[in-house]
Amino acid sequence: MPSVYIKTYGCQMNERDSDAVAAQLVAKGYSMASDPLKADVVLLNTCSVRDAAEQKAIGKMSHVASQLRSRKKNAVLGFMGCMAQSRGKELIDKLPDVDLVIGTQKFHHTVDHIGEVLSGKTNKVVDVEEEEGSEAAVREHLLDGASGAKSITSFVSIMQGCNQFCTFCIVPYTRGRERSRSIEDIVGECKNLVDHGVREVTLLGQIVTSYGRREIGIKDGKSAFVQLIEAVHQIDGIDRIRFTSPHPKGYGEDLVQAYGRLPKLCESAHIPVQSGSNSMLKRMHRGYTRERFLDIIHKLREVRPDIGITTDIIVGFPGESEEEFEATLSLYREVEFDNAFVFKYSTRRNTPAAELEQQLPTELIEERHAKLLSEVNQIGASRYETYIGKTMQVLVEGPSRRNKERMEGRTRCNRIVVFDGSERFRGQLVDLNIIRSGSFTLYGDPVILK
């Protein structure tokens, strides 16, 4: 059978989609290749959130096409995901070597499309229509990693799309409107994962706090999202539950209280704030104020004082004034986030912000990016240092990515800890004494029980 190489750009949703496609291919007898230039099929699962991500995927595809086509005339080249969705056929016009363009509601048809091209039944496929029910089509998992080792943690896609329409964001256009899977369907997938050795699930969606708003609704004062967390919490064998990405406006009392009530819900939250300035939040169409955001953080820390909180911030949104940027810096200092992704604003086609006058000069965006990043690093380092001398429990995931000789796991508050250990620790909850902190990593020794 032919071999397939998949490269994934962008967020965890994309990683999850690629994993499901790989699992479907393997089930049909295809093998996975680690080198695109040796593969029979090359798929790039693309991201459109920033222009740089699109350019990278286009660059990669033209490189692969120029190298591979001369060696393997019949190799199949395809784009999947967000850029495939938003650019469609235009990608084939630009890169005529490309055979497949598969949109965000069509991942589960990838195997069939590859088969059609390989058998010569068709030449080019552009499949980017909407498809009812596609939110439930990302379900298969490639549970044995490349090394053949078992996965301890897994992503579970609970919904697709976003209705928030932040003015800078292309996601509502690439992923479509919000559509949620049923609670039973998601619980079924989680149980299957547990049967394969998974102990931690991360519930995934572009705006998970809006999960099931339309389809399920509020029951006993609990949002559909909280109902889902409760249902997953009841599954024997799951030790930890996380989710990403929420929206601040979804942190009602019910979700805050869930952190207090549900011990498997890990005390960590990635809550994108984007800006600390009210005028900017308004222009971004975020739907909350600085004060409301600070109130959420305060409430979460009241319920779980050890909670790890990270965020996303955009610098250089059109018209961002010095005062507005300073407001973001001051919010960052006030919250003392554990870490943040700081993004330089990137103009996205067809978004309302692309029409705004006063796009800022690149140098100013660079300058603000560097300034905020230095704050992120400084605050992160001092927060990580406070863990030295403490004992923390990690769920061991496998060998350290930085040093294969050592093992690594994550604390409940989502910090990576590296320690000396062997494969027998994989999947175990292990207590570690923290002895050192590096850049956004902790180092520990297993607690020896006397």
* Angle, helix 253-261 to helix 224-233, in steps of 10 degrees: 10
Residue located via tokens 């004062």 = 221
Q: Which does 162 bind (CB under 5 to 8 A by kind): ligand SF4, ligand 5AD, none?
A: ligand SF4
- For residue 167, the minimal CB distance to ligand 5AD (Å) is 9
Beta carbons of 49 and 57 less than 8 angstroms apart: no
> Among 8, 151, 206, 351, which residue sits at the site for ligand SF4 (rule: CB under 6 A)?
206
Return the number of the residue (109 or 247) whose C-beta is nearest ligand SF4: 247
- For residue 397, the minimal CB distance to ligand 5AD (Å) is 23
**359: which DSSP letter?**
P
Say how far apart CA 102 and CA 84 lie, in whole Å: 6
Residue 295: how many CA atoms within 13 Å on its side-chain side?
Answer: 11
For ligand SF4 (CB under 6 A), the number of binding residues is 10
Cβ-defined contacts of 411-414 (< 8 Å, 24+): 411/308, 411/442, 412/240, 412/266, 412/267, 412/268, 412/306, 413/266, 413/267, 413/268, 413/306, 413/307, 413/308, 413/338, 414/242, 414/266, 414/268, 414/308, 414/310
Please say whether the dihedral angle defined by the alpha carbons of residues 391, 394, 399 and 402, taken in this order, is positive or negative.
negative
Q: Which does 343 bind (CB under 5 to 8 A by kind): ligand 5AD, ligand SF4, none?
A: ligand 5AD
The DSSP bridge pattern shows strands 391-399 and 407-411 to be: antiparallel
Binding flag, residue 207, ligand SF4 (CB under 6 A) = yes
Return the number of the residue (50 or 141) whose C-beta is nearest ligand SF4: 50
Say how far apart CA 2 and CA 72 lie, in whole Å: 12
Q: Which does 312 bind (CB under 5 to 8 A by kind): ligand 5AD, ligand SF4, none?
A: ligand 5AD
Say how far apart CA 244 and CA 251 lie, in whole Å: 13
Q: Which does 441 bind (CB under 5 to 8 A by kind): ligand 5AD, ligand SF4, none?
A: none
Q: Which residues within the stretch 104-123 sit at the binding site for ligand SF4 (CB under 6 A)?
A: none
- For residue 177, the minimal CB distance to ligand SF4 (Å) is 11
Q: Which does 314 bind (CB under 5 to 8 A by kind): ligand SF4, ligand 5AD, none?
A: ligand 5AD
**DSSP-derived 3-state class of residue 225:** helix
Each residue 153-172 as x (binds ligand SF4 by CB under 6 A) or -, in order, gives ---------x-xxx--x-xx
As given in the structure block, the two tokens for residue 322 are 């010095």
Q: Which does 345 bind (CB under 5 to 8 A by kind): ligand 5AD, ligand SF4, none?
A: ligand 5AD
Q: Which does 165 bind (CB under 5 to 8 A by kind): ligand 5AD, ligand SF4, none?
A: ligand SF4
Return the number of the residue (165 or 341) whose C-beta is nearest ligand SF4: 165
Return the number of the residue (47 or 125) whose C-beta is nearest ligand 5AD: 47
Give the phi and the psi of residue 294 in degrees, each rounded to 5: -60, -35
Each residue 323-362 as x (binds ligand SF4 by CB under 6 A) or -, in order, gives ----------------------------------------
As given in the structure block, the two tokens for residue 61 are 């595809």
Return the number of the residue (105 or 437) whose C-beta is nearest ligand SF4: 105
Return the number of the residue (272 or 421) whose C-beta is nearest ligand 5AD: 272
- Of the candidates 130, 278, 147, 158, the one whose C-alpha atom is nearest the C-alpha of residue 215 is 158
- For residue 314, the minimal CB distance to ligand 5AD (Å) is 5
Beta carbons of 345 and 311 less than 8 angstroms apart: no
Q: Which does 378 bind (CB under 5 to 8 A by kind): ligand 5AD, ligand SF4, none?
A: none
Beta carbons of 434 and 390 less than 8 angstroms apart: yes
Return the number of the residue (325 or 443) whose C-beta is nearest ligand 5AD: 325
The DSSP bridge pattern shows strands 429-438 and 391-399 to be: antiparallel
**DSSP-derived 3-state class of residue 14:** helix
Beta carbons of 198 and 233 less than 8 angstroms apart: no
Binding site for ligand 5AD (CB under 6 A): 49-50, 168-169, 272, 274, 312, 314, 343, 345-346, 348
Give the phi and the psi of residue 78 in degrees, each rounded to 5: -145, 145
Across-strand partners of 162? Answer: none
Return the number of the residue (346 or 414) whose C-beta is nearest ligand 5AD: 346
- For residue 77, the minimal CB distance to ligand 5AD (Å) is 27
> Among 240, 247, 304, 426, which residue sits at the site for ligand SF4 (rule: CB under 6 A)?
247
Return the number of the residue (243 or 384) whose C-beta is nearest ligand SF4: 243
Return the number of the residue (259 or 288) whose C-beta is nearest ligand SF4: 288
* Binding stretches for ligand SF4 (CB under 6 A): 162, 164-166, 169, 171-172, 206-207, 247
